[in-house]
Amino acid sequence: MEGFTELANQYRPMIYHIIHSLNIYKNEEEFFQIALIALWEAQERFDPEKGKFSTFAYSYMKGRMMTELTRQLKAEEVNVYPDEVFWEMKKDEHEEEPLQLATLLSYCDGLTNKQKQWVIYTFYFGMSVREIAEKEKVSLSAVKKWRAGAIEKVRANINTERC
């Protein structure tokens, strides 16, 4: 094992040279580990009769890193990662329109004008209690009273229709 540690230290500059020549800037440590594994395998498979070890190790490590780059590229092509624009809130084009005003007013029999205003502002225009209070220049508690009265009367109207 000590022999390989010395070999790894000796070939460290070559490994970084290969990484930079392949323009690897993401996962540099991962590719360094791949190169070390390839160096180990090159040491095991080297045949001195076929040439110099440094040439064999260089081509073996570079080939292994290129194979990994190809594998990662294919994985990125298969797995689509949507960009930030995709995740932004997009309005549904088929979203149902707010209740039609005529339908909405049919539920308002017996309500005061202020209670009818609360129903229209809330369900037709989608306004909050605070927005209604600002628009009508009244307090929040006044709008809440309109709401309570309107809900009570609409429920009573619905219950009498069911009977």
Residue 122 lies in a domain: yes
| C-alpha separations of 112 from 97, 98, 115, 129 in Å | 26, 22, 5, 17
Rounded to an integer, the average pLDDT of 122-132 is 90
86 — pLDDT class (breaks 50, 70, 90): low
Confidence check: pLDDT of 147 > 90: yes
Confidence check: pLDDT of 94 > 50: no
131 — pLDDT class (breaks 50, 70, 90): very high
Residues 57 and 123 in one domain: no
Helices (H), the chain: 2-21, 28-45, 53-78, 84-87, 101-106, 113-119, 129-136, 140-162
Which of the listed residues 86, 117, 132 is the one where a domain comes to its end? 86
Residues 79 and 14 in one domain: yes
Please state the pTM of the whole predicted model. Answer: 0.48
Residues 71 and 8 in one domain: yes
Residues 68 and 106 in one domain: no
Residue 93 lies in a domain: no
Range of the domain at 59: 2-86
Residues 82 and 53 in one domain: yes
Per the prediction, the chain carries an average pLDDT of 85
Give me Rg for the CA atoms of the chain.
36
Structure tokens at 62: 């570079």
Rounded to an integer, the average pLDDT of 31-55 is 91
